[in-house]
Amino acid sequence: MAQSTAETVFCSKCGSAMPPDASFCSRCGAVHAPVVVQATARVRYAGFWLRLVANLLDQVIIGAAVGLLFIARFGTRPPRVDIIEPAFIVFTVVGLKWLYFALLESSEWQATVGKKALGLVVTTTDGQPVNFLQATARFFGKFLSDAILGIGYIMAGFTAKKQALHDMIAGTLVVKR
């Protein structure tokens, strides 16, 4: 994951962070040159609006795929209004969306087409790629985010790591590369 790095200097006596040009530690008062230098990575979390745009791009792609499937299945006639065809429609749409999100987010890309277009990736909370099971949990967690009137999605704008409810459920993050 491409991240910006910052140099942090630590006191060799107490270990507290110090400004790079300090000649003594403000915490323990030790007068010495700081000797411990460590590079720290800063993760850039993807916020609500960026994720929304990525999702809109994904929905356009899924909508086109669903439209083609419906034309292939039903032709130009409207679906019958019995239990079989509506069930086919629901399972086809949910199944297609599940496979789209779970397969792409657990792939080498770590992103759907919409996320990739915006430079976003889905990772575990420790920065590792997600597996298919985690991506599946993330997808089905979105049903809970939907069920509570979208509040689960809005949470991404207010949590420290910009996690939506389904990210918390699956233990995932969406970060900017």
125 and 150 share one domain = yes
State both tokens at 46. 């993807």
* pLDDT given for residue 140 in this prediction: 95
Among 134, 104, 127, residue whose Cα is nearest residue 116: 104
Contacts 24+ apart (CB under 8 A), 161-167: 161/43, 161/45, 161/125, 162/45, 162/46, 162/47, 162/48, 162/51, 164/51, 165/141, 166/138, 166/139, 166/141, 166/142, 167/138, 167/141
Q: Are residues 11 and 93 in the same domain?
A: no
The model's pTM: 0.70
Residues 78 and 131 reside in one and the same domain: yes
Q: What is the pLDDT of residue 35?
A: 46
pLDDT < 70: residue spans in the chain: 1-17, 32-41, 78-84
pLDDT digits (tens, 9 = 90+) for 56-106: 999 999 999 988 887 887 777 766 666 667 777 788 888 899 999 999 999
Same-domain pairing of 107 and 150:
yes
- Checking DSSP bridges between strand 36-42 and strand 4-10, what pairing results, if any? antiparallel
At 153 the pLDDT is: 92
The pLDDT score that the predictor gives to residue 37 is 45
Q: Is residue 30 domain-shared with residue 64, that is, in the same domain?
A: no
Q: 24 in helix, strand or coil?
A: strand
Residues 106 and 167 occupy one common structural domain = yes
- What distance in Å separates the CA atoms of residue 107 and residue 176, rounded to the nearest whole number? 17
pLDDT of residue 81: 65
Residues 59 and 101 in one domain: yes
- 34 with 118, same domain: the answer is no
Residues spanned by the domain of 27: 4-42
Please state the separation of Cα 104 from the chain's center in Å: 12
Per DSSP, helices labelled H in 75-164 are 84-105, 113-117, 132-147, 151-154
Per the structure, the count of domains in the chain is 2
Please check whether residues 9 and 24 belong to one and the same domain: yes
